[in-house]
Copies of this chain bind each other. A is one copy, B any other.
Amino acid sequence: MKIGILGAGQLGRMLALAGYPLNLDFVFLDPATEACAAPLGSHIQAGFDDERALTEFCVSVDVASFEFENVSAESAGFVASRIPLHPSPAALTAGQDRLHEKQLFQRLGIPVPAHAAISSLEGLRQAVRQLGLPAVLKTRRMGYDGKGQAVLRSESELEAAWERLGSQPLILEQFIPFEREVSCLAVRAQDGQMRFYPLVANVHRDGILRTAIPTLADPLQREGEDYARRVAEQLDYVGVLAFEFFVAGGRLLANEIAPRVHNSGHWSIEGAECSQFENHLRAVAGLPLGGTRLRGASAMVNLIGDAPPVAELAALPGVHVHLYGKTPKPQRKIGHVTVTADHHDELLALLAPVQTLVERYAG
């Protein structure tokens, strides 16, 4: 079976690596010249809105998915009218606008931080009076890894933030002094069956995920699964869905969803019975889902900006190296490592030297 993927970055690369053993082949559509998934399949180098390229893409595959969630509704609709696209265009676009996304959560009874749509400086001032400070001003669309955001701590910062971001529709969100951040990775098959990975504890710095550690018997597991199920069923979702939460007052507060395999699930390649990548493909290809149980303990550390020499990483016990074939560049995700151990205590002992080494090179 030939799988088409919109986007050919590291997520596409890891999907392909998971897919070959299932006899799946891959076609990627991506405008980038340095598309790190390209060596693992055919690469149609074109914009996501290039109808000629999209047509070529559709005729050359059996079923399509995406690894880049900012594919436009039009392009997704174009593909979905020709071949099966999983998740659907409606699922893809549900998280593209932060305001609509929060409205969806609210309709489904999922708690969200207080927020307001912002379309003028006056509106921003008014929302700040209602929500209080600190607060976070975000573009409604296209933000990722902390881009398109401004944390507002005093009234004096409003005008500069509006100057920087105000050319686009915005949302102001109450700043959540969270205890921790977690994500729930869920996968839903074409027949509606769902499976859930253990909640993942995520640590960000400068808006970029640094470490992700699956938790064991997290007291919020059931709540996370419940919320992910509500969203997935509402959207008749097929594939892996990532749902990011803040934990505040011991409860989950929805942050955002990503309609795709997710950085906080990379540990699952070694750390779960069936990885998020394989499970996404199983769902997309109409196969039964794989197990989401942990295999021992594991943790993922991102390689941001630059990475230690592979020989230094590979020398550390329990380390699994995943480089993406990308040119190092400040703030760029160029790889990750997963540390595995039999037990959580052993994991923490192995993890510390890995983090120290990785931090020496991160940029």
Residue numbers of A with Cβ under 8 A of B are 13, 17, 20-23, 25, 39-41, 273-274, 282, 286-288, 290-291, 295-296, 310-311, 314-315, 317-318, 320-323, 325, 340
A-B contact pairs, 29 of them (CB 8 A): A13-B20, A17-B21, A20-B39, A20-B40, A21-B320, A21-B322, A21-B323, A22-B310, A22-B323, A23-B310, A23-B325, A25-B39, A25-B325, A39-B40, A39-B41, A273-B318, A273-B340, A282-B314, A287-B310, A287-B311, A288-B311, A288-B314, A288-B315, A290-B314, A291-B317, A291-B318, A295-B295, A295-B296, A296-B296
Q: Within the complex, which residue of B290, B321, B340 is in contact with A21, where a contact is CB–CB below 8 Å?
A: B321
Chain B residues with Cβ under 8 A from A322's Cβ?
21
Residues of B within 8 Å of A23, CB to CB, are: 310, 323, 325
Cα–Cα distance between A273 and B270 once the two chains are bound (Å)? 9
A315 to B274, CA, bound (A): 12
State the CA gap A322–B274 with chains docked (Å).
13
Task: Please give, as numbers and ranges, the residues of chain B lying within 8 Å of A340 by CB-CB distance.
Answer: 273, 295
Whole-angstrom distance between the alpha carbons of A290 and B322 in the complex? 14
Question: In whole angstroms, how far apart are the Cα atoms of A41 and B40 in the complex?
Answer: 8
Across the two chains, which residue of chain B brings its CB closest to A307? B23
Q: B residues within 8 A CB of A290? A: 314
Chain B residues whose C-beta falls within 8 Å of the C-beta of A22 in the assembled complex: 310, 314, 321, 323
Q: Are B325 and A20 in contact (CB under 8 A)?
A: yes
A321-B281 Cα distance, complex, nearest whole Å: 13
- Residue picked from A20, A296, A311, A321, most chain B C-beta under 10 Å: A20
Question: Please, which residues of chain B bring their CB within 8 A of the CB of A13?
Answer: 20
Q: Is the CB of B295 within 8 A of A314?
A: no
Other A-B pairs beyond A17-B17, A22-B323, 13, CB < 8 Å: A17-B21, A20-B325, A23-B310, A25-B325, A39-B40, A273-B318, A274-B320, A282-B314, A287-B310, A291-B318, A295-B295, A295-B296, A296-B296
Residues of chain B with a CB closer than 8 A to A310's CB: 22-23, 287
CA distance A17 to B13 in the complex (A): 11
Q: Which residues of B contact A311 (CB under 8 A)?
A: 286-288
Which A-B residue pairs are the 7 nearest by beta carbons? Answer: A23-B323, A288-B315, A21-B322, A287-B314, A288-B314, A287-B311, A23-B325
Which chain B residues border A320 with CB–CB below 8 Å? 21, 274
Complex Cα distance, B105 from A152, in Å, reads: 75
CB distance from A315 to the nearest CB of B (A): 4
Q: Residue on B with the closest CB to A274?
A: B320
| Closest Cβ neighbor of A317 among chain B residues | B291
- State the Cβ distance, A119 to closest chain B Cβ, in Å: 45
A295–B25 Cα distance when bound, in Å, is 29
Max count, chain B CB within 10 A of own CB: residue among A21, A315, A340: A21
Query: Bound complex: CA of A137 vs CA of B139, how far in Å?
Result: 76
Please give the distance in Å from A134's CB to the nearest CB on chain B: 40
- A23–B13 CA distance with the chains assembled, in angstroms: 12
Distance from A94 Cβ to chain B, minimum over Cβ atoms (Å): 28
Q: List, in ascending order, chain B residues with CB within 8 A of A286's CB.
A: 311
Give chain B residues whose Cβ lies under 8 Å from the Cβ of A288: 311, 314-315
Most B CB atoms within 10 A — which of A23, A273, A286, A288? Answer: A23
